[in-house]
Every structure is written in C-alpha cells, then in structure tokens.
Amino acid sequence: MTAEVGLRERKKAATRAALAAAANRLAVELGVEHVTVEAIAAAADVSPRTFHNYFSSREEAIVASIIDWAERLTDELQRRPADEPIWDSLQAVFVESLDDSPEGHSRLIAQLEMVMANPSVIASQLSALDTMRRRFAEAIAARSGTDANRDLYPHLIAGAAAHAVKTSMDLWVLGRTDRPLRELVGEAFALLRAGLPQPDRRRS
C-alpha cells in the first residue's frame, strides 16, 4: 500500500514528520510561547526557511498530528463494513483510536493542556478538527448516498461525532469526573443518537 513512492516523496514525508514532531514536542516541553520556528527547524535539521515550505504557520505544525489522526480515522471509517449503521461505524472508529494505557493518557493530557494554554493554538486545533469533520462528511456522504454539497445529514453527523469526542476529552481533562474516557465517549454518542432529550431536573 505504501509502496511505489520514490525516494523524494519519502524524504519529504520524513522532513514533514520530523518538523511536526519537533514542533509538538517543543511546545509540550517549553510551552508554545517559547517555541520559535528557528528552534523547530534546528531540531529537525533544516533551515528556518524550509520550515515555511512545509507549514504556513508555527501553530499548523504543532497541531499537525491531529490531521494525521484524522487521516487514519477516515481510512478506517472507509474500511468498515458498508452495511454497518453509520453511528456504529463512527463510534467504533473513534473508540478504537483511543489509547488506554497510562502513558497514552499522560500524553493526551499533556497535549490538550498545551493546546488549551494558547489561544492561537486553540484556533489551529479547531481548524484541524474542522478539516477532519469535512473529510468525515465526505466519507459518510459517499456511504449513505447523500451529497456533501447539498445535504445537511453527512455534515451534521460528522460534526456531532467529532464534537462528542472533543467534548468528552475536554471534560475528561478537566478532571471533575473520574469516569474513563471511553465511557464518556460512549455516553456522548448515546445521547446524540437519542436526539439529546432534555434530562429531568435531578442530577445524576
């Protein structure tokens, strides 16, 4: 599958990955404010000018991993059986992508805290998530026989699912609940599938 790519392509992909990884690592370690393009480029062994051939902003590089994640998820979504209900496919794909190990948890928390500490990174994160949402919508449109240029359905379900996961993560990181992330995501999907009925006024 990943065959048939020349040396050139592989080198480009490697450079891109090295830049994204360096940007992300430095942002987590030093805090976004203290990361310069110069430092990222140095860590990836290219010139600062080259950095800007790959990413149009520092923030874009920092959140590049989200786009990668989105690409993997879209692939997996397309690999689900065509007769599976779409909600099931979405939920399965998202839940399976969660890393349940303690290190996975720490990494995710560090990521989210780094992002949330800086408004311009938040904006880039949302932008990346929106790109993911659009890809999902297209995949779903193809599968459900709807048209991403005309119909609301694929966009709404893709957005609802993406937002379900984001909100679950946000609440989970906030730490006011000790429920596992998987469970939160599961509940979010259940609520959405039920049409978000108004809860009765006693608290759980």
Partner DNA sequence: GCGAAAACTTGCAGAGTCCGCAAAACTGCT
Partner DNA sequence: AGCAGTTTTGCGGACTCTGCAAGTTTTCGC
Taking the least distance from each CB to DNA, the nearer of 5 and 174 is 5
- Dig out the tokens for 22 from the structure: 């360096």
Label residues 130-163 b or e (16+ Cβ within 10 Å = b). Answer: eebbbbbbbbbbebeebebeeeebbbebbbbbbe
Burial of 4 (0-12, 13-18, 19+ CB in 10 A): exposed
Chain centroid to CA 107: 14
Residue list 79-118, contact with a second copy (CB under 8 A): 85-87
Does 157 sit near a second copy (CB under 8 A)? yes
Helix (H) or strand (E) holding 173: helix 153-174
Q: Which one, of 154, 161, 160, 157, lies nearest residue 138 by Cα?
A: 154
Q: Contact region for a second copy (CB under 8 A) — 20-28, 67-75, 91-99, 126-134? A: 126-134
- Residue corresponding to tokens 């904006």: 123
Contact of residue 111 among DNA, a second copy, none (CB under 5-8 Å per partner type): none
> Which of 20, 23, 27, 58 is the binder for DNA (CB under 7 A)?
58
Binding-residue total with DNA (CB under 7 A):
23
Site for DNA in 1-40 (CB under 7 A): 6-9, 11-12, 15, 35-38
Residue closer to DNA, measured from CB, 43 or 92: 43
Burial class from Cβ neighbours inside 10 Å (0-12, 13-18, 19+) for residue 40 reads buried
Q: By CB under 8 A, tell whether 135 contacts a second copy.
A: no
Least separation in angstroms between residue 47's CB and a second copy is: 24
Residue numbers of the site for DNA (CB under 7 A)?
6-9, 11-12, 15, 35-38, 46-50, 52-54, 56-59
Residue numbers of the site for a second copy (CB under 8 A)?
56-57, 85-87, 119-120, 122-124, 126-127, 130, 144-147, 149-153, 155-157, 159-160, 163-164, 167-168, 170-171, 174, 176-177, 184, 187-188, 191-196, 198-199, 201-204
